[in-house]
Amino acid sequence: DTIQIAEAVPDVPVEVPAPMEEAAVEEDTDAVEEESVIDDDDYAEEDELETPFAATDSDSDVANIAKSYLEELLEYMGIEATVTPRIAPDLVDPGEEPPLVLDVTGKDLGILIGRRSETLQALQYMVRLMVSKDMQSWQRIVVDVESYRARRRRSLSQMAKRMAERAVASGERVVMESMSAYDRRIIHVALRDHPDVFTKSIGRESNRKVTIIPK
Distance from C-alpha of 114 to C-alpha of 205, rounded to nearest angstrom: 20
pLDDT at 77: 93
Burial environment of residue 204 by CB neighbours within 10 A (0 to 12, 13 to 18, 19 or more): exposed
Q: For residue 91, what pLDDT is reported?
A: 77
Amino acid 21 reads E
Structural domains for the chain: 2-42+151-214 (3.30.1370.50), 48-149 (3.30.300.20)
- Looking at residue 42, its pLDDT comes to 54
Q: Report pLDDT for 210.
A: 96
CA distance 12 to 77: 22
Write out residues in the chain with pLDDT < 50, as ranges.
6-38, 40, 43-57
What is the reported pTM?
Answer: 0.67
Give Cα separations from 184 to 5, 98, 103, 133 (angstroms): 14, 19, 23, 29
